[in-house]
């Protein structure tokens, strides 16, 4: 008798809470939008989750300003509106995950802790795989603790029985749903408290000092030291080049936007020659093959695919390496249509896809003075250069 196929592993999704105001940090904007290492604080966590191969997607909880700062969400991610309190924000995210079964795993994380990493995620998921319904990362308390009242230190508190609780916190989705339903408005500072109230044990796994929380302005210096200091970085440069034939009666996509024209570009995907060249430039700087290696034209799932998915994938690969995109420079070579009127829109769209400032994106256009295939209006070409800042593997 043949063996039955193993059951597929339950889905894993993340909830990233970025709806708070963060008044104690003293910034003129929400603390999750403050820049750390050249990118918004919340982007550190979003990139870490998107780069983890075990997650299928997630929910980013934030207002319109947060969504505008983040730009395009990673593949498989959706957004939800924040509530007045953290608990309501989580409830809104759970509503957005209504299509997921109760046995799915969910990681609930505060965007104010930008140091989330794959090791902590793996420990939490391993606890769930071992049978726990809930798991949290904790750290021992290193300092002497005392009771204090009216500015006077009192008796020492036994720190051996205490631990510092961090996020992300992992739950079976059904367990978290039940906990929130049973809370009936009762306040809690984290979701593990709600789960314990319905009698479910919460497993503790080793946390990480890099999960320090941004609460006060001084915490930014601490986080900078934990996440940036000591990282030896090196510049890496990659080049990309692509060509597609112009054909009649097809939409023309260049640089992630549709441009009105009599002809479009022929290709297996939407044939966006500019985004293809940029994707290859970034993959080249990573030493990670080319667009055809990751999205082969022989695979029918990519037929007609939007090319922004390819570029977003390349950006995620940079984040997975612990790097950042320092600059991209794109040149579009076409006799027609005129690219000039669309340059700024293309620039902003590329910045949105890559989740970088438009100041890090250069878009230029030129013709070949009616020479060659582009001069004869038979096709459009694009070349791109990407400069990345990557951890030095030799360090």
Percent of the chain clearing pLDDT 70 (strictly above): 93
Report pLDDT for 366: 95
User: Looking at the predicted structure, is the pLDDT value of residue 364 above 60?
Assistant: yes
Q: Which helix (H) or strand (E) holds 107?
A: strand 105-110
CA gap 269, 295 in Å, rounded:
10
The pTM (predicted TM-score) of the whole model is: 0.69
Most confidently predicted of 169-178, 285-294, 382-391? 169-178
CA within 13 Å, CB half, 24: 8
Pairing between strand 252-254 and 324-333? unpaired
CA gap 126, 217 in Å, rounded:
35
Q: Taking the C-alpha atoms of 94, 178, 83 and 348 in order, what is their torsion angle to the nearest 10 degrees?
A: -20
To which CATH superfamily is domain 233-391 assigned? 2-C-methyl-D-erythritol 2,4-cyclodiphosphate synthase (3.30.1330.50)
- C-alpha distance from residue 375 to each of 241, 261, 342, 368, 381 (Å): 17, 16, 20, 6, 11
Report pLDDT for 343: 94
The per-residue pLDDT for range 307-347, each reduced to its tens digit, is 999 998 898 888 777 788 999 999 999 999 999 999 999 99
The per-residue pLDDT for range 207-266, each reduced to its tens digit, is 999 999 998 888 888 888 777 655 667 899 999 999 999 999 899 999 999 999 999 999
The C-alpha angle with vertex 152 and arms to 149 and 156, in degrees rounded to 5, equals: 85
Angle between helix 41-51 and helix 118-129 axes, rounded to 10 deg: 50
Q: Output Rg (C-alpha) for the chain, integer angstroms.
A: 24
> Domain ranges in the chain?
12-227, 233-391
Segment 134-146 shows an average pLDDT of 91
To which CATH superfamily is domain 12-227 assigned? Spore Coat Polysaccharide Biosynthesis Protein SpsA; Chain A (3.90.550.10)
Same fold, 12-227 and 233-391: no
User: Looking at the predicted structure, is the pLDDT value of residue 172 above 60?
Assistant: yes
Q: Taking the C-alpha atoms of 244, 281, 319 and 389 in order, what is their torsion angle to the nearest 10 degrees?
A: -160
CA gap 128, 135 in Å, rounded:
7
Segment 155-163 shows an average pLDDT of 88
- C-alpha distance from residue 321 to each of 5, 120, 317, 324, 393 (Å): 34, 17, 6, 9, 10
Work out the number of other CB atoms within 10 angstroms of the CB of residue 308.
Answer: 22
Buried b (16+ CB within 10 A) or exposed e, 173-207: bebbbbbbeebeeeebebbbbbbeeeebebbebeb
- Does residue 59 contact residue 16 with C-beta atoms inside 8 Å? yes
């Amino acid at each position: 008798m043949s063996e039955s196929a193993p059951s597929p592993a339950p889905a894993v999704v993340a909830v990233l809470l970025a709806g708070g105001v963060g008044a104690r940090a003293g910034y003129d904007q929400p603390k999750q939008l403050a820049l750390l290492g050249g990118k918004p604080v919340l982007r550190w966590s979003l990139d870490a989750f998107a780069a983890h191969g075990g997650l299928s997607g997630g929910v980013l909880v934030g207002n319109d300003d947060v969504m505008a700062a983040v730009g395009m969400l990673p593949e498989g991610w959706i957004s939800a509106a924040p509530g007045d309190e953290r608990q309501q924000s989580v409830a809104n995210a759970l509503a957005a995950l209504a299509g997921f079964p109760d046995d799915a795993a969910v990681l609930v994380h505060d965007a104010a802790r930008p140091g989330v990493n794959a090791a902590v995620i793996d420990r939490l998921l391993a606890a769930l795989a071992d049978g726990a319904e809930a798991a949290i990362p904790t750290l021992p308390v290193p300092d002497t603790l005392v009771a204090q009242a009216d500015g006077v230190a009192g008796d020492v508190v036994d720190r051996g029985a205490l631990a510092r609780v961090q996020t992300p916190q992992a739950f079976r989705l059904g367990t978290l749903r039940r906990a929130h339903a049973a809370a009936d408005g009762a306040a809690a500072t984290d979701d593990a408290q709600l789960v314990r109230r319905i009698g479910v044990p919460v497993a503790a796994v080793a946390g990480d000092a890099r999960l320090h929380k941004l609460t006060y302005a001084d915490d930014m210096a601490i986080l900078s030291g934990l996440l940036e200091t000591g990282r030896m970085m090196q510049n890496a440069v990659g080049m990309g080049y692509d060509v597609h034939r112009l054909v009649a009666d097809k939409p023309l996509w260049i640089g992630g936007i549709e441009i009105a024209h009599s002809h479009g570009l022929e290709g297996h995907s939407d044939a966006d020659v500019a985004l293809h060249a940029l994707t290859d430039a970034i993959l080249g700087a990573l030493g990670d093959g080319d667009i055809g290696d990751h999205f082969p034209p022989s695979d029918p799932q990519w037929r007609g695919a939007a090319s922004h998915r390819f570029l977003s994938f390349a950006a995620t690969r940079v984040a997975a390496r612990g790097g950042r995109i320092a600059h991209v420079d794109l040149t579009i070579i076409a006799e027609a249509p005129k690219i000039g009127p669309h340059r700024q829109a293309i620039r902003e769209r590329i910045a949105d896809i890559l989740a970088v400032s438009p100041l890090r994106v250069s878009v230029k256009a030129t013709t070949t003075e009616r020479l060659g295939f582009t001069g004869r209006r038979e096709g459009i070409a694009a070349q791109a250069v990407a400069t990345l800042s990557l951890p030095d593997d030799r360090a």
